[in-house]
Amino acid sequence: MRFFLALLALVVAATTHAHAQTNSAGFAQAIPAIQGHFDRFQESAHVPGVVWGIVQDGRLVHVGVAGVQDLEARRPVTADSLFRIASMSKAFTALAILRLRDEGRLSLDATVETYVPELRSWHYPTTDSPRIRVRDLLSHTSGFVTDDPWGDRQQPLAEADFTRMLREGVPFTHAPQTAYEYSNFGYALLGRIITNVSGRPYDQYIRDEIMRPLGMSSTGYEVRDAPIARRAIGYRWENDAFAEEPTMPHGVFGAMGGVQTSANDYARWVAFLLSAWPARDGAEQGPVRRSSVRELAQGLSFPRAIEREGCNYAIAYGMGMNAGVGCDLGLMLNHGGGYPGYGSHVLLLVDHGIGVFAFSNRTYAPIVAPVYSAALELKRAGVLTGRPLAISDALARAYQAAGAMYQAGSISPGQNLLAMNFLMDRSAENWAREFDRLRTQSGACATDAPIIATGNLAGRFTWTCERADIQGAILLAPTNPPGIQALRLSVAQ
């Protein structure tokens, strides 16, 4: 474990240092405003205690607290206070399934009854219904009905009772693979798959193979194993007063929502997830390989429209995480956690290497709002600078040729780098006229500005000119060597 943690620290050390230097002023500007959002949330939502954190490039760069973890003892919330994170537990279950897949012990496209034989006698809603696959459980497309809040109260269900439930079968609300419906029952079933395939209780497998290698020594599933002095007690706000929620013991449904963790521990999890991006060369240094972690972001079907802070975007459920691309924050992974006594949320800003998360100890506390407000404060403060892609040799050569062609007013300097379609789509004579038109409007241009890669074979750029800048994009063809298939230039408005 120490070896892995040391390697992880080395991987992120260089980028962490660079970001710390670049964004320290931005963080200093944003933190008071972010704390204000959480303070106002705690008061207006009647929440005893809140802890929130920001993770960047492998470390917890800031943690904020408000209130108490226990109304009777008045113990203040700290970064080591233990909260149940409810459905944010699902990502651990999903990654355990992917790890077993990587080990060759299961297939996502196999039917669930391959690993849970009790399902073989189930009656499906239509004669043409497909059998439920493992990936259908991961993406909530198994045909089970949405079961919040029923599922939240099933936490203590014993294995024997769950087995009887599986043997009897459950009703479907849709035929499998025809609609998205959020199913806690489906994730409890994934827990049974982990147990059967690994030969260990699902919680033990996840602790041993994922949590402990990440150094999450205070994280687990049985709440009562933790010292009371560290536990954030769960409350509900009812009839203008707090009432303590009963502490539910560990059981089958823990696979969908039973994890208890602290901000310090959870930050290690967030850092590990973010370290899977971008795709790159190099040895694997985590308990699950990077490509498998990135599968959490693969929205499998049935996107939903969301509007937040005036920004419209679509999200789809991937594997234990919602995935979406926002007009303001880029690629995002997120998941909430609502539970008797607790409310939590995590938001991973994948394009920027930053994660924001928060825990609270009030039933279904809607803490998603201040989490997103925190991300927007970071954007306003200039912290979300993105993680630029490396410029491939092929893209660099093509970009240099594009600049030379523009300066010459002819495609001649890049003739040998053009894909076969380039002059079929626009003749050399037409390109000469286009270059002349652009130069007339913009004046002399410096064509040595850096190109911003959008992939190994594509990029965009801006040339500074005398009268008006030129905005451009270049796209290479899937050939060896890659040739220029498209060059787009326009005068900036």
Q: Provide the pLDDT for residue 23.
A: 65
Instruction: Work out the number of other CB atoms within 10 angstroms of the CB of residue 307.
Output: 8
Q: Chain-centre distance of CA 177, in angstroms? A: 23
DSSP codes, 194-217: HHHHHSS-HHHHHIIIIITTTT-T
Using pLDDT thresholds of 50, 70 and 90, give the confidence band for residue 19.
very low
What is the per-residue pLDDT across 348-373, written as a single tens digit (0 to 9) for each?
999 999 999 999 999 999 999 999 99
pLDDT above 90: residue 328: no
pTM, full prediction: 0.91
What percent of the chain is predicted at pLDDT more than 90?
87
pLDDT above 90: residue 174: yes
Cα separation, 462 vs 401, in Å, equals 15
35-49, 235-249, 319-333: range with lowest mean pLDDT:
319-333
pLDDT above 70: residue 231: yes
Using pLDDT thresholds of 50, 70 and 90, give the confidence band for residue 309.
low
Mean model confidence pLDDT for the chain: 93
Give 308: exposed, middle or buried? Use CB within 10 Å, 0-12, 13-18, 19+.
middle
In terms of Cα–Cα distance, which of 100, 98, 93 is closest to 256? 93
Q: Which residue has the tokens 């963080």?
A: 27
Cα separation, 377 vs 359, in Å, equals 19
Beta strands in 203-329 (DSSP E): 235-238, 241-244, 260-261, 304-308, 311-317, 322-326
Using pLDDT thresholds of 50, 70 and 90, give the confidence band for residue 446.
very high
Using pLDDT thresholds of 50, 70 and 90, give the confidence band for residue 18.
very low
What is the per-residue pLDDT across 272-300, written as a single tens digit (0 to 9) for each?
999 999 999 999 989 999 999 999 999 76
Using pLDDT thresholds of 50, 70 and 90, give the confidence band for residue 307.
confident
For the chain, the C-alpha Rg in angstroms (whole number) is: 26
Q: Provide the pLDDT for residue 280.
A: 92
pLDDT above 70: residue 2: no
Q: Provide the pLDDT for residue 62.
A: 96
Mean pLDDT in residue range 255-261: 98
Is the four-CA dihedral 176, 177, 182, 184 of positive or negative sign? positive
What is the per-residue pLDDT across 465-487, written as a single tens digit (0 to 9) for each?
999 999 999 999 999 999 999 99
What H or E segment, with its residue span, contains residue 95? Answer: helix 90-102
- Is 136 in a helix, a strand, or coil? helix
Q: Provide the pLDDT for residue 330.
A: 87
